[in-house]
Amino acid sequence: MASRYHDDWQSSKKTVLQRNAYMFDNELMSDVSFTCGKSSRIFHAHKYVLATSSAVFFAMFYGNLTEKEFPICIDDAEEESFEKFLRFLYTDACKITTKNAIGVMYLAKKYLVSSLAEKCCEILEASIKPDNVFAVLEKAVQFDEKELEAKCWNIVLEKPQECVNAEAFCSIGSATLNAFLKKETFSITEMELFKVILKWTDEECGRQGINIEHDKTARRRILGD
């Protein structure tokens, strides 16, 4: 069977990060494996690299409750986000975009990799706009990122009409809706506010499997009167 790597690959890699990247990309000398979400892909990694980057991985591999079954299934991660997350642990760099930043940030928070979480937060801050502000806001609250949360609210205050008319508004949770309604400085008419709340309520009923045509009190229950 042909080798997947050059016999003297080390000589061509001038830095530790380059050598780490080569080992990760070629699954060389790996001693731990992962699957994630619904993906069939198996990620091969190195306990030492992961444990030196994350206290969670250190406890997982070298603590009292050492993980012994492989591959380890990470059910709450998507393939792209997990690949970017692992690559950062090996190289201190990965391509974070507005599309994968939330998924990567979730993993960074979960495994206590603060430097990566900060990079993701910077990407999200730079990407906030009316059509995604509520999606980012919900994650900012979930991740306890106060500055990111404040910047989201500032966008909502500046352009409330655009923000509430965006598709993301109808996907927010009730806690975010209540926080929005408690704000008293939005320049939006009562009629427009009524319309978007009604639209949100119908979407929430749908998410809960409630037929509003058959259950006439559903909207009121969802809004808590």
3-state secondary structure of 74: strand
Looking at 127, 158, 174, the residue that finishes a domain is 127
Using pLDDT thresholds of 50, 70 and 90, give the confidence band for residue 1.
very low
Let me know whether 21 and 113 are in one domain.
Answer: yes
13: exposed, middle or buried (Cβ count in 10 Å: 0-12, 13-18, 19+): middle
What are the phi and psi torsion angles at 199 (to 5°)? -65, -45
Parent domain of 188: 128-224
Let me know whether 91 and 153 are in one domain.
Answer: no
pLDDT beyond 80 at 65: no
Looking at 111, 127, 143, the residue that finishes a domain is 127
Let me know whether 136 and 119 are in one domain.
Answer: no
Using pLDDT thresholds of 50, 70 and 90, give the confidence band for residue 69.
confident
Let me know whether 31 and 116 are in one domain.
Answer: yes
Let me know whether 110 and 25 are in one domain.
Answer: yes
**Range from 114-128, 166-180, 193-207 carrying the lowest mean pLDDT:** 193-207
Q: Report which of residues 167 and 205 the model is more confident about.
A: 167
pLDDT of residue 6: 62
- H/E element holding 72? strand 72-74
Let me know whether 215 and 153 are in one domain.
Answer: yes
Question: How would you classify residue 82: left for phi > 0, otherwise alpha for psi between -120 and 50, otherwise beta?
Answer: alpha
Helices marked H in the chain: 9-12, 16-25, 47-51, 55-62, 79-91, 101-110, 114-127, 133-142, 146-158, 160-165, 174-182, 190-207, 218-223
pLDDT of residue 223: 77
Looking at 99, 127, 155, the residue that finishes a domain is 127
